[in-house]
Amino acid sequence: MLFERPNDDTLYDALIARSADYEGQAYVCVKTTGIFCRLTCPARKPKRENTIFFETIAACIHSGFRPCQRCRPLEQPGREPIVDELLAQLDSEPQMRWTEDELVRRGYDPSTVRRAFKRALGMTFHDIARYRRLGEAARQLAHGARAIDAQLDAGYESPSGFRAAFQRLVGKAPALSQNRELLFADWFDTPLGPMVAVADKTHLHLLEFHDRKALPAELEALQRRLRSSVAIGRTPAIDQIEAEIGDYFQGRLTVFKTPLALGGTPFEKHVWAKLIEIPVGQTRAYGDLAREMERPEVVRAVGRANGANQLAVIVPCHRILGADGSLTGYGGGLWRKQWLLRHEEKISVPKMERTA
Ligand SMILES: [Zn+2]
């Protein structure tokens, strides 16, 4: 009832038939090539298990996929020429650092560019350039390479590149003299784009989608609170959550077992525990949670605790909807929330059939 989009099987059939029925309403991302297409694309069709469908171009790009050179999904009739011009320049100069100064140097007014891209694609030109670089590097990681090697192989030594972005995110080199236990951070890829995991030797402290706006602040707060530093690297907790998240996205797992380090106040921990109790395939409103806690007066505080969650997917704050059933907000972006809820609706079906 929340979503009107046809299910993935219908979209896959349309893809094979090169049907124009969903033109402009759905796009297919191909995991093996990192490309996204219109369903009508004349190119050879991907296998079912390698496809992901999104409603918007922005969602495809957010997930690190590049537009196909054959069906050119970014080209839409009636679009302002400035959009196509800049997209063509982005394609031909993938290593360019697209600052506002660079745009001005090429004779563009940055605010005109921003407005034209927002109108045409729902995201800015800078976002597109950034996600494309991150997506490239993330794909390398997904193919099993170690983080640092992949970053080097992908040629992202440039200050604008992935390596620098990740290092900036993770912070300065570890201050080993502090003699405290270090935290480690690494990336892994998911169908919704790369996730960043931070763990000590045994417990997971943070799991977020790479582009969450609050992520840099969360990392800083975590280091301050634990008086520790975060270094790039892996611990068994990161390996475990990567495997579990992989199984979750494949529909094979709904209960996470990776040991969690929950760093909130007692109230926040209470709310997060309540969130974890919401079964896959179900949703709640803040008010429901407050009532279940037998404190109906604290609806706002429940909302804040929900927002303070930094274990995306595992502590399922995406299962909270507005009182009217609307999607409301999500730190990882509404399109991800929509995707997760749809996915969970799907993977919870066998359980309902068993009890029926
Ligand atoms: Zn195509």
Instruction: Report if residue 153 sits inside a domain.
Output: no
> Most confidently modeled of 25-39, 53-67, 163-177?
25-39
**Distance from the CA of 143 to the center of ligand 1, in angstroms?**
23
Q: Of 236, 261, 286, at which residue does a domain stop?
A: 261
Pairwise pLDDT comparison (18 vs 172), residue with the higher score? 18
- The DSSP 8-state label assigned to residue 253 in this structure reads -
Banded pLDDT at 38 (limits 50, 70, 90): very high
> Annotated active-site positions, please?
317
Q: How many CA atoms lie within 13 Å of 50's alpha carbon, on the beta-carbon side? A: 13
292 and 221 assigned to the same domain: no
> Over the Cα atoms of the chain, what is R_g?
21
Instruction: Report if residue 312 sits inside a domain.
Output: yes
190 and 212 assigned to the same domain: yes
**What's 27's domain CATH number?**
3.40.10.10
The length of the chain, given as a count of residues: 356
**Distance from the CA of 247 to the center of ligand 1, in angstroms?**
29
Instruction: Report if residue 80 sits inside a domain.
Output: no
Summarize pLDDT for 249-295 with one digit per residue, the tens: 999 999 999 999 988 899 999 999 999 999 999 999 988 888 888 88
230 and 311 assigned to the same domain: no
Banded pLDDT at 152 (limits 50, 70, 90): very low
62 and 38 assigned to the same domain: yes
269 and 315 assigned to the same domain: yes
Q: Of 240, 261, 282, at which residue does a domain stop?
A: 261
212 and 272 assigned to the same domain: no
214 and 277 assigned to the same domain: no
Instruction: Report if residue 110 sits inside a domain.
Output: no
Q: Of 238, 261, 284, at which residue does a domain stop?
A: 261
| pLDDT surpassing 50 at residue 127 | yes
Does the model's pTM come out above 0.75? Answer: no
356 and 271 assigned to the same domain: yes
Instruction: Report if residue 113 sits inside a domain.
Output: no
Structure confidence at residue 274 (pLDDT): 93
Summarize pLDDT for 175-193 with one digit per residue, the tens: 443 546 778 888 888 888 7
Instruction: Report if residue 124 sits inside a domain.
Output: no
**Distance from the CA of 36 to the center of ligand 1, in angstroms?**
7
Summarize pLDDT for 78-103 with one digit per residue, the tens: 778 899 889 888 878 867 778 889 99
d(CA 150, CA 287): 45
**What's 232's domain CATH number?**
3.30.160.70
d(CA 76, CA 87): 12
Query: Which residues, by Cβ under 5 Å, contact ligand 1, an ion?
Result: 37, 41, 43, 68, 70-71
Instruction: Report if residue 17 sits inside a domain.
Output: yes
Instruction: Report if residue 105 sits inside a domain.
Output: no
Buried residues in 201-215 as b, exposed as e (16+ CB within 10 A): eeebbbbbbbbbeeb
Residue-number span of the structural domain to which 25 is assigned? 1-73
Residues 6+ apart with CB under 8 A from 262: 268, 269, 272, 311, 315
The number of distinct structural domains making up the chain is: 3
